[in-house]
A and B are shown apart, each in its own frame.
Chain A
Amino acid sequence: MPTVTYICPDGELEEVEVPVGTSIMKAAVSHGIESIVGDCGGSASCATCHVYVESHLEKLPPKSSNEDEMLGDAASEVLPNSRLGCQLVMRDDLASLVVRVAPEQW
């Protein structure tokens, strides 16, 4: 199964198996990575699953205008590699994805 490595704000690394078709927000919440919050459950409504993508950036699907706009007011600084974890759904070619979790989510 593909894995995602989450670099948590406290510096700890968490490697999690993420089934194809599951969002990296959902996988993080299921595994107790508390620095990813995901209040709205994955409908891109809350911007509490903000991550900085550290690998495979070029392979990711482009941001929808909704995702882009929601990120506009995320609690942490928005960078060019900022994404909402709920909109990043695991695919085979995204295996070994590395994301850094934004330090503040709400």
Chain B
Amino acid sequence: MTSENQTALGGRLVVVGGGTAGAEVAFASRSAGWTGEIIVLSDEAYAPYHRPPLSKDLLKMDAVFADPDPLKGAPLYAKKNIELRLDSRVDGIDATARTLSMNANHSLSYDRLVLAVGGRARQLPLIAQLETRPTNVHELRTLDDCARLRSCFQTGRVLMIVGAGYIGLEVAAAAVKAGQRVILLEAAPRVLARVTAPVVSQFFEREHAKRGVEILTSTTIDNLSFGADGRVDRVATSDGAEYQVDNLVVGVGLEPNIELANDAGLEIGNGIVVDDSMRTSDPNILALGDCVDFHSGFYDRRVRIESVANAVEHARRAAITLTGGDPKPWQVPWFWSNQYEHSLKIVGLSTGYDETRVIDDSAGTSFAVEYLRDGRLIAVDAINHAAAFQSGKRRIVETIHA
């Protein structure tokens, strides 16, 4: 361990962001030997919680809105001497003075800073240009977003979802179960077009259609009309149709929160640029999770990955960087989604594949798609088929390192 590290271990570690990456890096750093102060700043009102249920189980519940599912039990923060400051919005970083400003007037110094700032939902230009955001237009990033959307669910209401990625599909599954009429709009010719092969898209299109979700692919919004209360009441689509809607969900991707890092002079690419140790261009500042642009050793290109697995892996790697020691080898990225009774597990990044193989398609409800590039396995989508996911994980490591 270097003497610089020894000094730092007793210093003040400040984490900006109360998502999975932020909570995990705080606890992992304590476990790895950081003895000084650890302060986690979150701009939300709740202790860090699991986000995947927001678009799945939490939307489905019939009961009154429950407490969030905490990532770490409340007594653990005291036990591990981690200070959690909620409702704390960081406005700026002075990297030279090693201070940040918070809630417009507070200043906080740090020895090491970790940016776990995640991202925000991408806006539709038609909505972004409005002076006031209509109250029936929703996105799904936080517990508050989830609570607002759920409170609008009533049998017979019309919910239009823009974007048929994972969030859009998961919301569609929950909403149609809750008795909504669900219209799902997708600009691409099929659902999950960016991330999956046609056979997987077809499977999910069929499952959603079976339950009554109306899927409109190659379709975008042409125009919105508003009621006297400013709410969207009609949507004209590019296929010439017009829909009366009660609520609109926009699930068209995530924009990484790079502004703080950019203003602090850190290098920015497709996110905050970090090295293999999760250090930004300022050695005292690390960044991790959904907001960072890093080099994937598996795929030998720079990537930005939005997933829980990626967030916890970055956090554990950053904790090792902060305290000294050797990190574990990189994992192959992995993801999961649940819709209805179906479990989709994905391992690897399929971008750039030139061949697919469908395996075990006996019943059509439990199968996997293997993605290859130059004859090498780069990703697997496993539908109700955990064994294919697990063996895929192993084989991707072997083939890419071969």
By a beta-carbon cutoff of 8 Å, the part of chain A in contact with chain B is 29-32, 34, 39-41, 43-46, 65-66, 69-70, 72-73, 106
| With A30-B73, A40-B336, A43-B336 as contacts: A73 and B391 at CB distance below 8 Å | yes
Instruction: Determine the distance from Cα of A73 to Cα of B328 in the docked complex, in whole angstroms.
Output: 17
Q: List 30 A-B contacts (CB under 8 A).
A: A30-B72, A30-B73, A30-B76, A31-B75, A32-B76, A32-B79, A34-B31, A39-B309, A40-B52, A40-B308, A40-B336, A41-B52, A41-B69, A43-B336, A43-B338, A44-B343, A44-B386, A45-B345, A65-B386, A66-B384, A66-B386, A69-B387, A70-B386, A70-B390, A72-B387, A72-B390, A73-B390, A73-B391, A73-B394, A106-B331
Describe B's contact surface by its main secondary structure. Answer: helix
Instruction: Determine the distance from Cα of A7 to Cα of B385 in the docked complex, in whole angstroms.
Output: 31
| With A40-B336, A45-B345, A70-B386 as contacts: A32 and B394 at CB distance below 8 Å | no
Q: Which of B27, B312, B338, B385 contacts A39 (CB 8 A)?
A: B312
Residues of A with C-beta under 8 A to B50: 41
Residues of A with C-beta under 8 A to B336: 40, 43, 45
Q: Which residue of the partner chain A has the closest CB to B387?
A: A69
B279 within 8 A of A: no
B134 within 8 A of A: no
Residues of A with C-beta under 8 A to B76: 30, 32
B393 within 8 A of A: yes
By a beta-carbon cutoff of 8 Å, the part of chain B in contact with chain A is 27, 31, 50, 52-53, 69-70, 72-73, 75-76, 79-80, 308-309, 312, 328, 331, 336, 338, 343, 345, 384-387, 389-391, 393-394
Instruction: Determine the distance from Cα of A65 to Cα of B389 in the docked complex, in whole angstroms.
Output: 13
Residues of B with C-beta under 8 A to A69: 385-387, 389-390
Instruction: Determine the distance from Cα of A37 to Cα of B384 in the docked complex, in whole angstroms.
Output: 23
Instruction: Determine the distance from Cα of A60 to Cα of B384 in the docked complex, in whole angstroms.
Output: 23
Q: Which residue of the partner chain B has the closest CB to A47?
A: B390
Instruction: Determine the distance from Cα of A63 to Cα of B211 in the docked complex, in whole angstroms.
Output: 29
Contact call B309/A46, Cβ cutoff below 8 A: yes
Contact call B393/A31, Cβ cutoff below 8 A: no
Interface-central residue, B27, B309, B338, B391, by most chain A CB under 10 Å: B309
Instruction: Determine the distance from Cα of A65 to Cα of B53 in the docked complex, in whole angstroms.
Output: 22
| With A29-B72, A32-B76 as contacts: A66 and B343 at CB distance below 8 Å | yes
Contact call A29/B309, Cβ cutoff below 8 A: no
Instruction: Determine the distance from Cα of A65 to Cα of B385 in the docked complex, in whole angstroms.
Output: 9
Contact call B31/A29, Cβ cutoff below 8 A: no
Contact call A32/B75, Cβ cutoff below 8 A: yes
Instruction: Determine the distance from Cα of A69 to Cα of B309 in the docked complex, in whole angstroms.
Output: 19
Residues of A with C-beta under 8 A to B343: 43-45, 66
Q: Which of B52, B73, B338, B387 contacts A32 (CB 8 A)?
A: B73
Residues of B with C-beta under 8 A to A66: 343, 384, 386
A40 to chain B, nearest CB (A): 7
Interface-central residue, A29, A30, A43, by most chain B CB under 10 Å: A43
A102 to chain B, nearest CB (A): 16
Instruction: Determine the distance from Cα of A34 to Cα of B72 in the docked complex, in whole angstroms.
Output: 10
Instruction: Determine the distance from Cα of A46 to Cα of B20 in the docked complex, in whole angstroms.
Output: 15
Residues of B with C-beta under 8 A to A29: 72-73
Residues of B with C-beta under 8 A to A65: 386
Residues of B with C-beta under 8 A to A106: 328, 331
Instruction: Determine the distance from Cα of A41 to Cα of B51 in the docked complex, in whole angstroms.
Output: 9
B350 to chain A, nearest CB (A): 18
Residues of A with C-beta under 8 A to B73: 29-32
Instruction: Determine the distance from Cα of A30 to Cα of B27 in the docked complex, in whole angstroms.
Output: 13
Instruction: Determine the distance from Cα of A31 to Cα of B79 in the docked complex, in whole angstroms.
Output: 10
A48 to chain B, nearest CB (A): 9
Residues of B with C-beta under 8 A to A70: 386, 390
5 pairs of A and B residues whose beta carbons are closest in the complex: A30-B73, A69-B386, A73-B390, A69-B387, A41-B50
A34 to chain B, nearest CB (A): 6
Residues of A with C-beta under 8 A to B70: 30
Residues of A with C-beta under 8 A to B27: 34
B216 to chain A, nearest CB (A): 30
A25 to chain B, nearest CB (A): 12
B237 to chain A, nearest CB (A): 34
Q: Which residue of the partner chain B has the closest CB to A74?
A: B390
Instruction: Determine the distance from Cα of A69 to Cα of B75 in the docked complex, in whole angstroms.
Output: 34
